[in-house]
Structure 1
Amino acid sequence: MNLIEGRNPVLEALKSGREIDKLFVQSGQLEGSIRQIIAIARDKKILIKEVDKAKLDRMSATKSHQGVIASAALYKYYEVDDILEIAKEKAEDPFIVILDEITDPQNLGSILRSCDGAGVHGVIIPKRRAASLTPIIGKISAGAVEYVPVAKVTNLNQTMDYLKEKGLWIAGADASGDPYYEKDMTGPLALVVGSEGKGLGKLIKENCDFIVGIPMAGKISSLNAAVSCAVVIFEAKKQRALKNAAGSLQDGSIH
Structure 2
Amino acid sequence: ERSATSGPKFTQVADSRIPLSIPYTTPASEFLYGTSVVEAALSSRREPRRKLYKLYIYNGENREDPDQDARLERLARRSGVDVVRAGNDWLRVMDKMSAGRPHNGYILEASPLPRLPVTSLGQLTTVDGQDGFEVSIDHQSREEAAVNGTSNFIKIPRSRHGRKPLVLLLDSIVDPGNLGAIIRTSAFLGVTAIAISSRNSASFTPVVLKASAGASEDITLFMVNKPAGFVVDSKNAGWKVFAAVAPAKKHDPAMPISLSTDQLNDPLSEDPCILMLGSEGEGLRWNLRSKADVDLYIEGSNQSHNVDSLNVSVAAGILCTTFLKRSKPKQLAPIRQAQDEVIEVPETAKLF
Same fold (TM over 0.5): yes
Q: 1:26 aligns with which of 36, 55, 58?
A: 58
> Which segment is superposed worse, 134-143 or 105-114?
134-143
TM-fit CA distance, 1:163: 1.5
The code of the aligned residue for 1:127 comes to S
User: Could you tell me the TM-score, scaled by structure 1's length?
Assistant: 0.87
The reply to whether residue 40 of structure 1 matches residue 75 of structure 2 is yes
TM-fit CA distance, 1:67: 0.7
Where does residue 246 of structure 2 map in the other structure?
175
The number of equivalent residue pairs is 243
The code of the aligned residue for 1:242 comes to S
The reply to whether residue 166 of structure 1 matches residue 237 of structure 2 is yes
CA contact (8 A) 1:61 1:135 kept: no
Matches within 5 A, 1:78-97: 78=116, 79=118, 81=121, 84=133, 85-86=153-154, 90=158, 92-97=163-168
Higher helix fraction: Structure 1 or Structure 2?
1
TM-fit CA distance, 1:59: 1.4
Distance 1:25 1:210 in 2: 50
Distance 1:32 1:234 in 2: 36
- Partner of 1:86, secondary structure, is strand
Distance 1:89 1:215 in 2: 32
CA contact (8 A) 1:87 1:93 kept: no
- Partner of 2:168, secondary structure, is strand
CA contact (8 A) 2:228 2:288 kept: yes
Unaligned runs of 5+ in 1: 247-255
TM-fit CA distance, 1:204: 1.0
Q: 1:141 to 1:129 in 2, by over 3 A?
A: same
- Partner of 2:327, secondary structure, is helix
Q: 1:135 to 1:111 in 2, by over 3 A?
A: same
TM-fit CA distance, 1:32: 4.1
Q: 1:3 to 1:164 in 2, by over 3 A?
A: same
- Partner of 1:234, secondary structure, is helix
TM-fit CA distance, 1:34: 2.5
Distance 2:316 2:58 in 1: 37
Q: Give per-residue Cα distances to partners, 1:71-121, cap 9 Å, x unaligned.
A: 001111124559834355636512100011111110110000011011111
TM-fit CA distance, 1:185: 4.4
CA contact (8 A) 1:193 1:199 kept: yes
> Which segment is superposed worse, 122-131 or 176-185?
176-185
Q: 1:32 to 1:100 in 2, by over 3 A?
A: same
The code of the aligned residue for 1:199 comes to G
Q: Give per-residue Cα distances to partners, 1:207-235, cap 9 Å, x unaligned.
A: 11111111222330100111111110011
Where does residue 77 of structure 1 map in the other structure?
115
Distance 2:115 2:158 in 1: 20
CA contact (8 A) 1:62 1:135 kept: no
Where does residue 7 of structure 2 map in the other structure?
none
TM-fit CA distance, 1:158: 0.8
User: Could you tell me the TM-score, scaled by structure 2's length?
Assistant: 0.64
CA RMSD of aligned residues (A): 2.2
The reply to whether residue 99 of structure 1 matches residue 170 of structure 2 is yes
Q: Give per-residue Cα distances to partners, 1:123-172, cap 9 Å, x unaligned.
A: 11112011132322111101100111111111111111122112111111
> Which segment is superposed worse, 58-67 or 229-238?
58-67
Q: 1:144 aligns with which of 215, 228, 250?
A: 215
- Partner of 2:173, secondary structure, is coil
Distance 1:162 1:185 in 2: 23
CA contact (8 A) 1:77 1:150 kept: yes
Where does residue 199 of structure 2 map in the other structure?
128
Distance 1:109 1:12 in 2: 14
Q: Which has the higher contact order (CA 8 A, sep 6+)?
A: 1
Where does residue 193 of structure 1 map in the other structure?
277
